[in-house]
Amino acid sequence: MERINFSSGAKWEAIVGYSRVVKIGNIIEVGGTVAVNDNNEIIGKNDPYAQTKFIIQKIEKALMQAGAALHDVTRTRMFVTDISRWEEYGKAHGEFFTAIRPVTSMIEVKALIDPSYLIEIEMSAVVSEE
């Protein structure tokens, strides 16, 4: 099966050795994504809802590059720095996935790479085989 790597252009990809998205056959994996825009600015500082919404929109664009859409998502993983704010993360997630209903994990972590990041999300998707 052919492997296709999709880059986000982040400088960290070469340093750490990762891709934003990897597609092998009809399986697509999206790596940990945070609420940073193309100008390296944090979106939604101290706002779990805004960060979650921005990240899902960012991942949606990456999925589209790989030939997928949010309706192809089978799993989401949310790594959060404060689980007590789960309703804020969950509200944004639900706005995109209420009808799709992927399996989901929300896991509290001690910290993310930047203290301004409140959440990091990974996703898995499966597209129809052609």
Q: Which two tokens stand for residue 38?
A: 């193309």
Alpha helix (H) residue ranges in the chain: 12, 48-65, 86-97
pLDDT for res 14: 85
Over the stretch 35-57, which tens digit does the pLDDT of each residue have?
999 898 999 999 999 999 999 99
Question: Does this model's pTM top 0.75?
Answer: yes
Q: Are 30 and 59 in contact (CB under 8 A)?
A: yes
Q: From CA 79, how far away is CA 33, in angstroms rounded?
A: 10
Task: Name the pLDDT band for 130 (thresholds 50, 70, 90).
Answer: low
Please give the domain boundaries of the chain with CATH numbers for all domains: 33-122 (3.30.1330.40)
Q: What is the pLDDT of residues 97-117, one digit of tens each?
A: 999 999 999 999 999 999 999
* Collapsed DSSP state (helix, strand, coil) of residue 29: strand
